[in-house]
Amino acid sequence: MDYGLQKLSEEKVFKDPVHRYIHVRDQVIWDLIATREFQRLRRIHQLGTTYLVFHGAEHSRFNHSLGVYEIVRRMIDDSFSGRPQWNDSERLVTLCAALLHDLGHGPFSHAFEKVFDLDHELFTQKILLGNTGVNEVLRRVAEDFPQKVADVIGKTYPDKLVVSLISSQIDADRMDYLQRDAYFTGVSYGHFDMERILRVMRPAEDQAVIKQSGMHAVEDYIMSRYQMYWQVYFHPVSRSAEVILVKILQRAKVLSEEGYTFKQEPVHFKSFFDKTYDLADYIALDEYILMTYFETWIREDDEILSDLCDRFVNRRLFQYIDFNPAKEYRKLGELDVLFRKAGIDPEYYLVVDSSSDLPYDFYRPGEEEERLPIHLLMRDGELRELSRESDIVDAISGKRRTDHKLYFPEDMLKEGKKKKVLRQQILSILNT
Amino acid sequence: MDYGLQKLSEEKVFKDPVHRYIHVRDQVIWDLIATREFQRLRRIHQLGTTYLVFHGAEHSRFNHSLGVYEIVRRMIDDSFSGRPQWNDSERLVTLCAALLHDLGHGPFSHAFEKVFDLDHELFTQKILLGNTGVNEVLRRVAEDFPQKVADVIGKTYPDKLVVSLISSQIDADRMDYLQRDAYFTGVSYGHFDMERILRVMRPAEDQAVIKQSGMHAVEDYIMSRYQMYWQVYFHPVSRSAEVILVKILQRAKVLSEEGYTFKQEPVHFKSFFDKTYDLADYIALDEYILMTYFETWIREDDEILSDLCDRFVNRRLFQYIDFNPAKEYRKLGELDVLFRKAGIDPEYYLVVDSSSDLPYDFYRPGEEEERLPIHLLMRDGELRELSRESDIVDAISGKRRTDHKLYFPEDMLKEGKKKKVLRQQILSILNT
Amino acid sequence: MDYGLQKLSEEKVFKDPVHRYIHVRDQVIWDLIATREFQRLRRIHQLGTTYLVFHGAEHSRFNHSLGVYEIVRRMIDDSFSGRPQWNDSERLVTLCAALLHDLGHGPFSHAFEKVFDLDHELFTQKILLGNTGVNEVLRRVAEDFPQKVADVIGKTYPDKLVVSLISSQIDADRMDYLQRDAYFTGVSYGHFDMERILRVMRPAEDQAVIKQSGMHAVEDYIMSRYQMYWQVYFHPVSRSAEVILVKILQRAKVLSEEGYTFKQEPVHFKSFFDKTYDLADYIALDEYILMTYFETWIREDDEILSDLCDRFVNRRLFQYIDFNPAKEYRKLGELDVLFRKAGIDPEYYLVVDSSSDLPYDFYRPGEEEERLPIHLLMRDGELRELSRESDIVDAISGKRRTDHKLYFPEDMLKEGKKKKVLRQQILSILNT
Amino acid sequence: MDYGLQKLSEEKVFKDPVHRYIHVRDQVIWDLIATREFQRLRRIHQLGTTYLVFHGAEHSRFNHSLGVYEIVRRMIDDSFSGRPQWNDSERLVTLCAALLHDLGHGPFSHAFEKVFDLDHELFTQKILLGNTGVNEVLRRVAEDFPQKVADVIGKTYPDKLVVSLISSQIDADRMDYLQRDAYFTGVSYGHFDMERILRVMRPAEDQAVIKQSGMHAVEDYIMSRYQMYWQVYFHPVSRSAEVILVKILQRAKVLSEEGYTFKQEPVHFKSFFDKTYDLADYIALDEYILMTYFETWIREDDEILSDLCDRFVNRRLFQYIDFNPAKEYRKLGELDVLFRKAGIDPEYYLVVDSSSDLPYDFYRPGEEEERLPIHLLMRDGELRELSRESDIVDAISGKRRTDHKLYFPEDMLKEGKKKKVLRQQILSILNT
């Protein structure tokens, strides 16, 4: 029998705290979950360093990937199946793309990509198409099947409806992570009526649309997303941990380039330092490996590397103040000088971090990132862009909000014995 | 001001998905949480290998330790404080013991202790009393304070009421883990009315007792515990992962003793192989370190070590069948011989694992582990042992239940190319 | 098109706090819900007087009936449909029976039936078969369809599997009320993993059975039921209100028989007093009508009727003590005499009430109420009775538990001015 | 001992599904709950006719009143007590006002007040100050205590902080009803982090304010309120039931004025028809009484009264269309004429209903209803009005949203046999 159509003899379920159960009936999905590349996602936190603020947020990308799959499965099987706008032959490629969309994430993705100038979406593509267990399973469906899945994730797939289920302003990815991250952090934001949204979701030509009667559920979803960004994802304390992480990787790179002799050689990082990495190098990495390095590097002779690793591993984070880079650049320059005088390298110990989010936007042609707006399906069959119907969404539409913080090691400034006056001076500048 | 009495200028809270918030007002508690030894608990899963079955169960012992602290804090501040049987000068030592009771757990505790013949309770004592950050904080309260905390955890503390809050058949430890593990796994067991139990809990001479009116809440708690043991803690698939883990460590030890040359030297394990470890060696271990070894050892030349590590890291677990060791030892002997013939070392690939639990027991003097029974406080002030009042508890009291499984690598038996007949024979024995 | 097969043009949903949504696609179900007889269930509390103890328990039988329907719908559509043991032509009759199984309940059912010697199951039958809106809808399906539905509810339907979904020791009725009553009272009992039970439920020849792997979920369900009985359904305070209710109805009947002239004539009750009621009289009753009488009767001249109504309406309930009728009948006789002497009629003011429950039982042929035991479907296809596999269920199987209370108006005894010594004497007997 | 300071010998609790437990320690509160006037609130639905749409919404004002009390108790005992801006001698009056703030609500309040031109707030005052059980309890505290409680509820109490806890844009009343109504309807809106809001609430001179760090929790609360208004409170179907209710009362009044002879005399309404009611008449009313009239009036000869009562009791509601009264008044005039021609009195059967809400507003002096804005307490001690800090609140601030619907009996128009053409014409106008 055609491998792509094979069903398990009995439906398998995974107990999931967010969706109660994840249901798997397709042999292909079952086999993909068992691959090494997919199992690797267990070793990467869904929310990077957030667990250092919300101690419950210790869940992995493995969790989230199953959740996205389950939501897409429900969209298709419960809401779309049997409707003329939905082509059921797209079912398997959509489910595979949902399950695998985060496959290329590396350890502490954000920081890692930033330092080594990588792109996890590119790695997702490479894993799908390269010499991997995932590719082997996908190829058993059809020779061009891996490419199809890659196209859906890369948003170049011809059927835009399929793409929209996984990448749009109201996709399964967001729906899962909002609920899941709310559940594990324990915050009371992040809840919205997904059951209702799934019930009122309809397949349309280029995207999934929402029946007008479900507008309020969508409003609620957008507000949940907004709250999660500012309450959880951009929490200044987890950004502090992230800043330190970036600095550790930068320092290790610099040391390596300068010919420093590590007690614990950065074997796994070498190819990233000199940009010679291949896919296998990337897949070999996870947060267990990175953390093991950080723990070991605490005993390195380089004081900066040792201190930063100690900070990260033992949660001795940087303090922060609100900071407006546009207006306060002079203050930053002044601090830079004083830090150097005090013997604290500002390159590693005085860091501006900015977070920014656009809660919702309608289509603005020509803009940097063209966003597909959410459309309501009116009673008369017409489609209307959400912000034209919803006062609340209209009110926040297109309004980007940005937050800047300046991070620094308050403990060093307070506890240091040498250059006390200088340190006092720095502290007083920071606290005004 | 006396350090032990110092309060934070403003109460701090941790958002907790189980108890909503963890409240900290004492400077000592705040300082303990910041120690390296306590932060290390973030790197040890609360439920070991269970996350390989229940993917949500990725939470750490750090989480649980905060939870136990919070429950004890509520017992004291909300239920006991002001009652004559409660001595408020015991408050701090009780809170510290609650927070620190799991401090000595190692990575994948159960398996690690089994192979290296260790005892995590002993290490908790050593961390409290040794040269550690925790000890330093505790000593600032009073010279003998670390010993006091150690005595509470070791159950030798003179005030038995204090001991019972942390170690008894209805203690804060169990109350937290049942709810927490239920929350993260997503199972519907594990819930009981803790609010009510806390409300009806009263301090008595030697233990916390429960007002008669709360008996049903306690019954429900005992049933929850029973269900969690058999549904979650003893799940045969996570035991399969645990079996493999034990075998990895045993194999590494054997190889080391035999002088095998590791590509990745087991530096962190050396002192455990030859029993020369000290406290620092132990604290240096966590699950990030162990997993890094396992990932690396997949590339070792020793086929058994390599295969077992691959199984653990990539979740290629052993299959199992029900097995009665008392009756089926002949079958086991026979299989042992056939495995050897087939070139599969039964030492590593044919393993009996037994799990056993006693849901509740009243006091049976002279027995192996004398358990403190739960007492009800009757309206007339008399204390009565729970099973004398509750039909349901009486029905299960003292009834130990045991489950035996025989684990083996079904894939090896099925997929192997050599000695096919032999393997078939083994499979047919296993499946009858 | 055949009316019994007609589907609504679009699925309708009811938002339900317990099952999230109730889904209706069949025209017949939709029409039944709209009938007067079904809407009447909104005016009857699901839990009678329990709302006087658990103030949240104000939900009606309308709620519960929808819930039972939804559970049966899920059993059929999600678990049974397509399996050879399930005959899909039984679908509609089963859904109708589920929806309508409580149709014949009267206001404060238990008390009302007791005083007037009625049986709500008989009235369910009469509503199904008599001149009613429900009958009219059912007859449109087929002439014999009302009788079929009546047979399922009356347990005489030939297909015993169908009967078992609604009436057995693990039926949709119990599964809904446990969860629903827990939700509205707010107690933490009553929860069990219904999702799992539905997943492991299988159609068999004479009943629905449970796959062995779901045994623990069933154990949990049985324990939930046990807890709900003793914590909620038999709560002594709501039984106090029930005792008063019974006494109000008895007093009104006696007064009517004695020719007492009511200020507010008991028009609605007349035919029940003299046993001349017909179906229309019965349907005309609900709790709004009864309560209106009780409120009005507070102003009657008869002191007993007036006092009892005031107690019920304004929640001035009787006190109670534990009482063993087998041993303490002498005490009761003595109190009876003293009450009379004190001018308090013991017929209305000294009442023994007994509650009794059997949590689970296997089949005991020849016993009063032969109960269908729960069967597990073992891996080899064999069926085994639950208590033979489950230690916990075995432990409580067949163990009836009974609770007796003696109710009396403590306020009258304490606050009365006349015969103070006598009243003191009564109080001291009651409190020993 | 001073009655106002008396504590119960042991804290009493009510199990509450929303707040888990309601805690009562004050004798005064305990005694108030036991009064007839407070118990009467059990017989008035919290959400009027909403239960006809959301079947779970059968909860009473009794429930809600306890909830408001509990929230205020927590504000005081957990957040305010001990802070200099809070005067603990205001505790009891605040708790009493919280508990009793809805005391004057009549049956189906909104409709009843509209038809008879009453004001429930005035009745709350009368119950507090008149010859009632509540007044008797309050007077035992102090002669002027009932007036004080009345002043808090009437917002004339000098301590504005006290007033703000019960009546402001973020008061205990709203906080309870949002959560409670969400719980009982089962909708997923209405949730917000009350725990956090209580934690960051601080007493200030004229009102309770919110620490800046809690801004997002307040945003979430305001959005919840917005959603509840449009999803639940203004649901067009429950407004349909409300329209019918108003028309029943109007019809009964007209009939009474016209000398119509009722089979069931409207004894309880008489004094409201002719405006001679006193407090006792008002208190005697509840929804059980009203519904009993409606059920009985179905058998009245007046066709309009009979039909409307049948509609309300048996949920045969009016249909509706969107309607813009400003633009479509001509259409309304035309329909009015056609209805008369068709023999359907438009006075009762063609009704425009408008709902309108202002989600949040800052202070606009001189406006109709001056609203106290929510203030944030900034880190530097300054107070800032919420919408100046929150983009989202700013976006919706002061934006009133209104919805108009036109209600009519579609069944009459479709099913009537006479004047078929005319009815067709009406239907076609309505549906364009």
| CA distance linking residue C182 with residue B193, whole number of Å | 12
Residue type, D362: F
Of the candidates C40, C50, C76, which has an alpha carbon nearest to the alpha carbon of residue C187?
C50
Q: How many CB atoms lie within 10 A of CB C366?
A: 5
For A61-92, what is each residue's pLDDT tens digit? 999 999 999 999 999 999 999 999 999 999 99
Q: Is the pLDDT of residue A290 over 60?
A: yes
DSSP state string for C42-103:
GGSBTTGGGGGTSTT---BHHHHHHHHHHHHHHIIIIIITT-TT--GGGHHHHHHHHHHTTT
DSSP state of B21: E
Contacts of A13 in chain C (CB under 8 A): 199
Residue C224: closest C-alpha in chain B? B220
Is the ipTM beyond the 0.90 threshold? Answer: yes
The pLDDT of residue B418 is 82
The pLDDT of residue A331 is 92
Helix (H, G, I), strand (E, B) or coil at C202: strand
Say yes or no: C223 contacts chain B, CB-CB below 8 A.
yes
Q: Is the dihedral of CA B125, B126, B127, B128 positive or negative?
A: positive
Beta strands (DSSP E) in A150-266 are 201-203, 208-211
- The bridge status of strand C401-408 relative to strand C319-322 is antiparallel
Closest residue to C58, CB basis, from D15, D58, D291: D58
The subunits that touch chain A, with at least 3 C-beta pairs less than 8 Å apart, are B, C, D
Say yes or no: D193 contacts chain A, CB-CB below 8 A.
yes
Contacts of C81 in chain A (CB under 8 A): none
Size of interface A-B (CB pairs under 8 A): 92
Say yes or no: A216 contacts chain C, CB-CB below 8 A.
no
Size of interface C-D (CB pairs under 8 A): 94
What parts of chain D have a pLDDT lower than 50?
Answer: none
Q: How far is CA B371 from the centre of its chain?
A: 18
In percent, how much of chain A has pLDDT > 90?
Answer: 84
Say yes or no: A297 contacts chain B, CB-CB below 8 A.
no
Rounded (10°) CA dihedral D367, D368, D372, D373: -50
Closest residue to B292, CB basis, from A56, A59, A292: A292
Regarding pTM above 0.90, the answer is: yes
The pLDDT of residue C369 is 56
| CA distance linking residue B136 with residue B37, whole number of Å | 11
| CA distance linking residue A370 with residue B11, whole number of Å | 45
**B183/A16 CB distance under 8 A:** no
Closest residue to C195, CB basis, from A20, A195, A199: A20
For B153-168, what is each residue's pLDDT tens digit? 999 999 999 999 999 9
Q: How far is CA A50 from the centre of its chain?
A: 11
Say yes or no: A278 contacts chain C, CB-CB below 8 A.
no
The pLDDT of residue C337 is 96
Contacts of A235 in chain B (CB under 8 A): none
Say yes or no: C412 contacts chain B, CB-CB below 8 A.
no
Contacts of C199 in chain A (CB under 8 A): 13, 21
Residue C12: closest C-alpha in chain A? A199
pLDDT-derived band of residue A219, with 50, 70 and 90 as boundaries? very high
Question: Sheet containing A319-322: which strands, arranged edge to edge?
Answer: A319-322, A401-408, A351-357
| CA distance linking residue B5 with residue A51, whole number of Å | 30
The pLDDT of residue A189 is 83
- HSE (CB half, 13 Å, CA atoms) of B279? 17
Residue D98 to chain C, least CA–CA distance (Å):
18
Candidates B7, B77, B196, B197: best to mutate against D (most CBs of D within 10 A) is B196
Say yes or no: B7 contacts chain D, CB-CB below 8 A.
no
The pLDDT of residue D370 is 57
For C113-164, what is each residue's pLDDT tens digit? 999 999 999 999 999 999 999 999 999 999 999 999 999 999 999 999 999 9
For C57-70, what is each residue's pLDDT tens digit? 999 999 999 999 99
Residue D392: closest C-alpha in chain A? A396
Contacts of C42 in chain D (CB under 8 A): 51, 55, 58
| Touching D: C residues 241-270, CB under 8 Å | none
pLDDT-derived band of residue A326, with 50, 70 and 90 as boundaries? confident
Closest residue to A56, CB basis, from B59, B287, B314: B59
Helices (H), C314-372: 325-341, 346-349
Of the candidates A413, A417, A240, which has an alpha carbon nearest to the alpha carbon of residue A319?
A240
Closest residue to C396, CB basis, from B230, B395, B399: B395
| CA distance linking residue C253 with residue C298, whole number of Å | 16
Average of pLDDT values for A363-375? 67
**B20/D195 CB distance under 8 A:** yes
Say yes or no: D183 contacts chain C, CB-CB below 8 A.
yes
**A199/C13 CB distance under 8 A:** yes
User: What value does the CA radius of gyration of chain A take, rounded to a whole number of Å?
Assistant: 24
The pLDDT of residue C396 is 82
| CA distance linking residue B297 with residue B309, whole number of Å | 7
Say yes or no: D196 contacts chain A, CB-CB below 8 A.
yes
Q: How many CB atoms lie within 10 A of CB D309?
A: 25
| CA distance linking residue C37 with residue C134, whole number of Å | 7
Of the candidates A306, A296, A245, A243, which has an alpha carbon nearest to the alpha carbon of residue A266?
A296
Instruction: Point out the least confidently predicted range of A108-117, C353-362, D265-274.
Output: C353-362
For B65-81, what is each residue's pLDDT tens digit? 999 999 999 999 999 99
CB distance A223 to A283 below 8 Å: no
Contacts of A21 in chain C (CB under 8 A): 195, 199
Which tokens go with D196?
A: 């956090």
Say yes or no: B195 contacts chain D, CB-CB below 8 A.
yes
The subunits that touch chain B, with at least 3 C-beta pairs less than 8 Å apart, are A, C, D
Helix or strand run (H / E) with residue C173:
helix C172-185
Average of pLDDT values for B251-277? 95
Helix (H, G, I), strand (E, B) or coil at A25: strand
Q: Which residues contact C351 (CB under 8 A, 6 or more apart)?
A: C243, C247, C318, C406, C407, C408
Residue C358 to chain B, least CA–CA distance (Å):
12
**What letters, b where the CB count within 10 A reaches 16 and e where it falls short, cover B221-241?**
bbbbbbbbbbbbbbbbbbbbb
Q: Which residues contact C233 (CB under 8 A, 6 or more apart)?
A: C47, C50, C181, C355
The pLDDT of residue B340 is 96
In percent, how much of chain B has pLDDT > 90?
Answer: 84
For C236-288, what is each residue's pLDDT tens digit? 999 999 999 999 999 999 999 999 999 999 999 999 999 999 999 999 999 99
Candidates A55, A99, A132: best to mutate against B (most CBs of B within 10 A) is A55
Instruction: Point out the least confidently predicted range of A390-399, C183-192, D331-340.
Output: A390-399
Output the CA–CA distances (angstroms, integers) from residue D346 to B421, D301, D320, D357, in the order listed.
90, 20, 14, 27
Helix (H, G, I), strand (E, B) or coil at D262: coil
**B63/A56 CB distance under 8 A:** yes
Say yes or no: B298 contacts chain A, CB-CB below 8 A.
no
| CA distance linking residue B53 with residue B241, whole number of Å | 9
Closest residue to A288, CB basis, from B39, B60, B291: B291
Contacts of D217 in chain A (CB under 8 A): 188
Helices (H), C229-376: 236-257, 270-273, 279-283, 287-297, 303-313, 325-341, 346-349
Q: Is the pLDDT of residue A11 over 60?
A: yes
Contacts of A187 in chain D (CB under 8 A): 193
| CA distance linking residue C244 with residue C110, whole number of Å | 12
Residue C314 to chain D, least CA–CA distance (Å):
5
Q: Which residues contact D292 (CB under 8 A, 6 or more apart)?
A: C288, C289, C292
Q: How many CB atoms lie within 10 A of CB B202?
A: 16
**Residue that the structure tokens 């709203």 belong to:** D174
Say yes or no: C13 contacts chain A, CB-CB below 8 A.
yes
The subunits that touch chain C, with at least 3 C-beta pairs less than 8 Å apart, are A, B, D
| CA distance linking residue A374 with residue A385, whole number of Å | 6
Closest residue to A195, CB basis, from C21, C195, C199: C21
**C291/D43 CB distance under 8 A:** yes
Residue type, B300: E
Residue B402: closest C-alpha in chain C? C391
In percent, how much of chain C has pLDDT > 70?
Answer: 98
Average of pLDDT values for A252-274? 95
Say yes or no: A199 contacts chain C, CB-CB below 8 A.
yes
